[in-house]
Amino acid sequence: MSPLPPLTDVLATARVVALPLATRFRGIRTREAVVFEGPEGWTEFSPFVEYDDAEAATWLAAALEFGWHPAPPPVRTSVLVNATVPAVTASEVEGVLARFDGCRTAKVKVAEAGQVLADDVARVRAVRAAMGPEGRVRIDANGGWNVDEAERAVHALAEFDLEYIEQPCAEVEELAELRERIGYLDIPIAADESVRKASDPLRVARAGAADLLVIKAQPLGGVRAALAIVAEAGLPAVVSSALDTSVGLSMGLALASALPDLEFDCGLGTAALFTEDVVASPLRPQGGALSMTRASPTTASLDRVEASADRRDWWLQRLTRCYRLREADLTRG
């Protein structure tokens, strides 16, 4: 394991930012993050605010790796990406999709708290109508259904020719049971939270509970750790973001560009959901793709999205605590 850079070096360039969203996503209207610069370039630490320090420390490991160590060699220079449709009303779907230039695939959020299956059906129907018969439509429940609810939802949504269903249920055993129940429909199941939030990210593959993995660089501890998980799991993978700034998306791009095989469009177009970003030219889809690049914030862009003083203090204290956890892990060997 590589030694940590000095905490003073990490904090020296750290900027805490708050990016406004065009529409509510995951229950928030603003996405907060810390960006800082290492020898290899700018990097990002942005675990969601509800995560505890132990989980967030893994995100810091990814940020430090990306800032202080060269990325693996790329095998492609651009990555096809999907549009992401939050749990909006059907009437809002076209406006959301318009932000994603040329994307042939759309991922639609479903199973939102406070909504019902009819809302999901209406939203997915609107997405399918907008994408046309050749477009690809996948849904993401973020583990929001039990097995019976998921089976009922899949039957209600199957008419829209789903590419796959992402994390319909929370538990690995539930995914395995659902996969068996709906096998005749030939709709693949993708695992996200069962990989990135699991103590054993390979368990879902060993249990035969998913057909593919959704992987994210920060939650898995970095680009190399994510590549190793995919290699050992032996399943196709989709690289996705965690609603990152363009700096964090650069980390996701480094992961996607290094994967030996990349069958599915990746969820790295989410900068299109922001109305501001940390760079002058955000990493938004052009012709349905992102070119392999590393985002470098400008002072003006950082100033424009600077978080309040109290939020800055909160994030830097959190970063420091997570650094100490990583330091302790290294000491234990």
Binned at pLDDT 50, 70 and 90, residue 333 comes out as: low
Domain 7-69+299-332 belongs to what architecture? 2-Layer Sandwich (3.30)
Distance separating alpha carbons of residues 259 and 275, to the nearest angstrom: 30
Domain with CATH 3.20.20.120 in the chain: 78-291
pLDDT confidence of residue 220? 96
Query: Average pLDDT of 63-71?
Result: 98
Q: Is residue 1 over pLDDT 80?
A: no
Query: Average pLDDT of 18-23?
Result: 95
Structure-block tokens of residue 186 = 């030939």
Distance separating alpha carbons of residues 123 and 192, to the nearest angstrom: 22
pLDDT digits (tens, 9 = 90+) for 247-276: 999 999 999 999 999 999 999 999 999 999
CATH topology of domain 78-291: TIM Barrel (3.20.20)
In angstroms, the Cα distances linking 234 to 7, 75, 219, 225, 229 are 37, 19, 20, 15, 9
Q: Is residue 3 over pLDDT 90?
A: no
Q: Is residue 238 over pLDDT 80?
A: yes
197 a catalytic residue: no
* Closest listed residue to residue 83, CA positions, set 105, 116, 67, 63: 105
Contact predicate 276/307, CB 8 Å: no
Structure-block tokens of residue 282 = 């955000």
Q: Which of 15, 104, 109, 318 is catalytic?
A: 109
216 a catalytic residue: yes
Domain with CATH 3.30.390.10 in the chain: 7-69+299-332
pLDDT digits (tens, 9 = 90+) for 297-318: 999 999 999 999 999 999 999 9
Q: Which of 123, 216, 294, 312 is catalytic?
A: 216
Q: Residues near 183 by Cβ (< 8 Å), separated by ≥ 6? A: none
Distance separating alpha carbons of residues 275 and 228, to the nearest angstrom: 34
The pTM for the full model equals: 0.96
pLDDT digits (tens, 9 = 90+) for 95-150: 999 999 999 999 999 999 999 999 999 999 999 999 999 999 999 999 999 999 99
One-letter identity of residue 72: P
